[in-house]
Structure 1
């Protein structure tokens, strides 16, 4: 087991109608707030009115910035930074899923910085402090509601890059599973895939003697798999929605990675796809993760055998471990297909014209991943496997 420090200070407020508590949670941090969200859906379903009333009841002045898109753009982040500085904002409240939360985190960091916020994503500067952030979660997926990282897309070159610091963790996150009832099935499925990928990135490690977190990862994966079809078939099933929502948080709050060195190569490879083609991150991960598995499984066949057996209940063939490992990969693909995810670039209507470019961009700062190091040629081969 690898040495680690685990610290997650995000207060989780979980349950029905808990969004009504947002005002009393936010007022602790000041009276001037940036309300950050995406589309008008939160106005249509009444969530916006509930949140605004709760904030106003506490005498909080609200400045709004809407318009966050999937794969959030640095241009809107820059607009948010300018607003926060102009209005001397004390606190940022994100209402939405990972894209809104990531955008809020980048704004929070940029507000405390004299240079351009994109510097944090190119390595020119490091985040040291942020405005405090709160979250009302509507899309279980990214786990950004209690993670320390953010991912932003720059329209200039369509680079999708990550940055992080412990001060980016939200101060509180309100999780009401009922707020996810109206999500389209495809968006729900993308979220399920995203949270599974967060667990898999941590699961495939070279660290030995990590049985506790192995089994925590496996249990979380099995819980997601068990509830996935229920939430798709019965969108208002509170119990299944609750399991999925909490799983998404647990998948990315760093607990499952304690004592391990995760891989994260698949995420970096996928970022090039969604950066250029603007597809949902979860859909891109459903394409890339099985391809990555096929490319690297021989590095540690036993770990893939364990995955197949403990997660997918595949009987171990002691005479042919490779067969068992490949069966686990196949089962993963079949599950993604069963919830409506693409598992090839072709299914996502993505051609070959940018594969070499994406492989080059993905590795321009060095090789990817920790399970095995992936260089430009390796990444290109994974894209080929994903065709």
Structure 2
């Protein structure tokens, strides 16, 4: 088990009607004027925005609003948000939505607190420990951005080519996360399934490690994955199941706050690769991850077949072949594929609806490595450009 530090300062306010507490919480954390930031008609049409506005007004919190967030949030909109905040004297950013709205809000908060070009932050040319105050109201169980230190943005301000890049720092953890499972009842099936897979992937990216003696972290991760495995299908079958929605919402938050990775080094090669797929083809993040994971798994399984066997047995209930760990592990990968198909998610690039050329595959492989700032992506197995090209070709 490696040394680690673990601090999650985000205050989780969980349960029914908790969105009405936004004004109280902003006031508690010293905010005076907020930017309410979201994307899509849902926030307004369901009355959620009105309830939030009423809560802010009741506490004397002034606010301005900005719609327009799209999946794979854009830096161009972020810059508009920064200018609006400066013009209006905003000192608190309130995100309403899933990972896209929260990440867009985090990026605005970085821009408000610093005077560098945001492109430089996400391209790794500058760093910062400063960010404006931010809180989140989650309307989707998936990305975990409401408790994570990560911010992922599509850079669309540098010409025709889109770059999807992240910046990670502890300062980006929201001060509070309001989580009302009822706000997720009306999600379309795809917006339940794909983010559900993202919860799994945030956990799996930490779970697949070569670090030894991480038994407690394994138990936490396996329990979380079994929970998601059970409740994504339940939420799809019964969209207004409060237990299913509540468990998924909490799992999303805990999957990406670092808890399941304590004492080990995460891999995150699949995230690096999917960011390139998402930037090039603008696909949903969770679906992009499921389209490549089994190809990654089969490519790296020989590094530690016993780890894959443990995953197969403890998460998917596969019968353990004690004489052949790899065979057990491969059946676990098959079980993952079956689960993805059962919730209508792809397990190949073809099923994802894309057919990249060899040239595009090379570009994505190179981008995945470049984004990590070295000569490889991943930690479970170091994947160089040629490795990523091979597994993307296998994922076709």
User: Same fold judged by TM-score > 0.5?
Assistant: yes
The answer to whether 1:385 aligns with 2:391 is no
The answer to whether 1:339 aligns with 2:334 is no
CA distance in structure 1 between the aligned counterparts of 2:39 and 2:116, rounded to whole angstroms: 26
Return the offset for 1:154: 1.0
- Residue matched to 2:222: 218
Tell me the secondary structure at the aligned position of residue 307 of structure 1.
Answer: helix
Return the offset for 1:372: 1.0
CA distance in structure 2 between the aligned counterparts of 1:379 and 1:150, rounded to whole angstroms: 24
| Per-residue Cα deviation, 1:256-277 (whole angstroms, up to 9, x for no partner) | 1111101010000011111111
CA distance in structure 1 between the aligned counterparts of 2:366 and 2:106, rounded to whole angstroms: 28
CA distance in structure 2 between the aligned counterparts of 1:135 and 1:108, rounded to whole angstroms: 12
Tell me the secondary structure at the aligned position of residue 150 of structure 1.
Answer: strand
1:1-387 to 2 correspondence within 5 Å? 1-28=1-28, 29-155=30-156, 156=158, 157-353=161-357, 354-364=360-370, 365-366=373-374, 367-387=376-396
Deviates more, 1:361-370 or 1:198-207: 361-370
Contact 2:206–2:260 (CA under 8 A) maintained in structure 1 = yes
Return the offset for 1:253: 1.0
CA distance in structure 1 between the aligned counterparts of 2:175 and 2:71, rounded to whole angstroms: 23
Contact 1:127–1:164 (CA under 8 A) maintained in structure 2 = no
CA RMSD of aligned residues (A): 0.9
Return the offset for 1:339: 0.6
CA distance in structure 1 between the aligned counterparts of 2:224 and 2:195, rounded to whole angstroms: 14
Tell me the secondary structure at the aligned position of residue 12 of structure 1.
Answer: strand
CA distance in structure 1 between the aligned counterparts of 2:219 and 2:31, rounded to whole angstroms: 42
CA distance in structure 1 between the aligned counterparts of 2:16 and 2:394, rounded to whole angstroms: 44
Return the offset for 1:242: 0.4
CA distance in structure 1 between the aligned counterparts of 2:121 and 2:168, rounded to whole angstroms: 8
| Per-residue Cα deviation, 1:328-350 (whole angstroms, up to 9, x for no partner) | 11111110111110111111221
Contact 1:210–1:259 (CA under 8 A) maintained in structure 2 = yes
Contact 2:291–2:351 (CA under 8 A) maintained in structure 1 = no
Query: Could you list the runs of 4 or more consecutive aligned residues of structure 1 that deviate by over 3 angstroms after TM superposition?
Result: none
Deviates more, 1:271-280 or 1:314-323: 314-323
Gaps of 5+ in 1: none
CA distance in structure 1 between the aligned counterparts of 2:154 and 2:145, rounded to whole angstroms: 16
Per the normalisation by structure 2, the TM-score is 0.96
Tell me the secondary structure at the aligned position of residue 90 of structure 2.
Answer: coil
CA distance in structure 2 between the aligned counterparts of 1:44 and 1:22, rounded to whole angstroms: 19
CA distance in structure 2 between the aligned counterparts of 1:136 and 1:66, rounded to whole angstroms: 15
